[in-house]
Structures are given as structure tokens and as C-alpha cells.
Amino acid sequence: MATNDSFKRVSLIFGTRPEAIKLCPLALAMRESPGLETHVCVTGQHRQMLDQVLDVFGVVPDADLNLMRPNQTLGELTSRAIAAVDDYLKATRPDLVIVQGDTTTVFCAALCAFYQNIPVGHVEAGLRTFNKWSPFPEEINRVLTTRVTDLHFAPTETARQNLLREDVPDDKVFVTGNTVIDALLLAVDRVRATPPSVAGLPDFLQPRRHGDFDQGPALVLITGHRRENFGDGFENICRAIATLAERFPDTHFVYPVHLNPNVREPVNRLLGPSAGGTIHLIDPLSYLPFVAMMDRATLVLTDSGGVQEEAPSLGKPVLVMRDTTERPEAVEMGTVRLVGTNTQAIVENVATLLTDEKAYAAMANAVNPYGDGKACGRIVEACRTFLNGCGDNA
């Protein structure tokens, strides 16, 4: 149980960069809330990228399980994560465990909390593609996490309805908006006032102070890391980028290449070096430079989940290189379009946005459905109410 009877201990457990981006603002908000003792545990499922985000928000973990190993399988990671998180929870005995999203860390932490009769709060609950293989393994991670969760923090009404259809009690579901918008609004103010430098880019592509972005050339920002795109998917994506670079010689394509060798090998083989000098393969960006590059970009080409939420808040059209998305709200509102990994489809959709002002404006000016930047406050209040209504765990 919590070490101080006048406080309730809340443990936030996360392990990857996207989780850190979405939970660090919540950790900061909880640490300012009276009566809560906030404990941060990181699994290190991602290492370098996780640490960069922690530094940005000034969050120092109370526990670091350091689980990352080169080329580990999902089975190896899962078994080690369950053992390590189980030991952590036995030693810490929080009154509530908070997880976010759909990673292996999320599922393992929620399962371990359940085994120890510790309530679970799930941030970004209720996202679904209804296809267990896409995204893999995220769809199953979040579905299984739902079954052991006590407080479901749904980012949208659509996510809430998904949970209700799965017989989650209505009084356990809270529509909060997405904490990624809380994080983004904090970050964008910083990068617009003091633009960070991005290694590997020429000066004319660097982020500038807000209001100066229209002076630079068109820029397509690209990210890719999904397991389901390994192999043919990334080969097709790279061919599309190469074709677009030839067709639009005045447009620049900036690709921070994920560290996974399944990504780096085809990207470096097919796109580097660019004959025309307009394809820029750079190292992965830490959070603030990435936000600055989204702000600088004309449009974003990605297979990421979080970017589908972030970029529309900055008025950037997003083309998603996946066949399914657990974020249908953005598609319905028109800020996001699914293009898959078909080379021709990617080329045609990017070309339309680069040449058709009306098509571009329709996506850039659409309403972002993912929140107002106040999700953390809503989650803190729900947690406080829940904890005040139940006793310490035995």
C-alpha cells in the first residue's frame, strides 16, 4: 500500500517514446495535485528515444527497468517485462497504475497490476481497428488491456462507444481528449520562440520562428516504423518517395529514419544518396526538433499513430501509409487520409496535395478531433475521485 496514509500513490509505467510524450505531461500535472504521490517507472522498451523525451519534459524516473536488448523478439520482451514489472509493483505497491496506449509495456504492466489486485487506468483507451493483425501487435495489446482496466480514459466519443460496445461500464469511461495535444501545445510554444537546429539539414530547411515558414520550399516530412510494413511495404514506400522527388524537384523530402534495421536497410539502399539532393535521410529526431519539423512541413507522410493526432493540430495534412487506422475520427473530419503502402497511391495523393490548392486547404483547415490541450486535468480529476472513493489495497 502507499507509504503515506495521507497520500495515494499513482504509478505511471511506460517504455517508449510515444508513451513518454503522452504521459510526461500527465506526470507533471499529477505532481502538482495535492494528495497524490506520483511515481514514474520506465521499462526502457525504447532507450535513446525514450530518454530524449524525458529530458524535454524534465521528468526523472523513480525506477528504470532498462529492458531494451538488441533484436529482442516480442516474446522475449514480454516475458522479461512481466517479470520486471511484477517485482517493481511488489516493491512499490501503488494504489493505482496508469498506462498509455498499446505497446508491449502497456499490456505487461496492466496484466501485472491485475495479478496484484492494483487498479489500472488506461490513457488513450478504446482505440480499435477490429483487425488483430493491424497494427501488429498493438491492436491485441490494447484490446487485452481493456479487459483488466478499471478507469478508461477515452480520447474521443468514438473511442468511448467502442468500449461501451464491449460492455465496459459507462461510469468507468471518461472522454478526456488526448494528452498528446497537451504535450504538443507545450512543445510548439517553445519551438516557435526558439527554433531548434536539426542535424543533417541545410540552413534553408531548418525550422524558423513562427511566421517565417512560408518563405521556405515545400517540404514533405516522412516517418515510418510499423512492423506490418517491414519488407515489401517499406520497399514500396521508398519507391514512392523516389518517384515524387523526380516529379517535384523543388520539393524537399525529409525522412528521420527509424533505428530499426528493418527500416534503415531498404531506406538507405533505395533512397540514399538522393541524386537530386532533395531527399534528406537524417537520424531520428528528439521530440522538440520533430515538433518543429512538423510545424515547418507542408504535409506529413507517416505510418505513425501519434502523428495522426499531432500534425492536424498544426494545420498539416496527413497521409497515413497503412490500410487501417484506430483513429477514424481524423479520417472522418478530413485531416487524415489512408493511402496504404501502394506506391502509386502514395505518389498520387502526395502529388494532389502539392498541386491542388483546394484539396490541400480542405485537409489543412479541417477540425482536429483530438482535444483542446486539457486532457491531463480531466484525467487527474477522475483519478482523484476514484482514489478518494476506495481504500488502500491489501
Q: Running along the chain, 394 residues long, what does each successive block of 10 average in pLDDT?
A: 67 95 97 95 85 93 92 92 98 98 97 98 97 92 98 97 98 97 94 93 87 75 83 89 95 90 84 79 92 95 89 94 89 94 96 97 90 95 92 44
Alpha-carbon distance of 281 to 263, in angstroms, equals: 12
DSSP 8-state assignment for residue 198: -
Report pLDDT for 211.
62
pTM of the model: 0.86
pLDDT of amino acid 68? 85
Q: How does DSSP classify residue 286?
A: P
- Which domains can be identified in the chain, with CATH numbers? 8-177+374-388 (3.40.50.2000), 198-364 (3.40.50.2000)
CB atoms within 10 A of CB 68: 16
Q: Residue 3's pLDDT is what?
A: 45
Half-sphere exposure of residue 143: CA atoms within 13 angstroms, side-chain side:
16
**Residues assigned a catalytic role:** 102, 124, 138, 225, 227, 258
Predicted confidence at residue 394, as pLDDT, reads: 37
Count CB-CB contacts under 10 A for residue 169.
Answer: 10
The DSSP string of 341-362 is: T-HHHHHHHHHHHHH-HHHHHH
Q: In the prediction, which pLDDT does 46 show?
A: 74
Give the per-residue pLDDT at 261.
Answer: 78
Instruction: Give the integer Cα–Cα distance in Å for 50 and 43.
Output: 10
pLDDT at residue 227, as a whole number: 72
Among candidate residues 356, 320, 352, the one with its CA nearest the CA of residue 337: 320
- Cis preceding-peptide flag for 328 (omega within 30 of 0): no
In terms of residues, how long is the chain? 394
Distance CA 45, CA 174 (A): 28
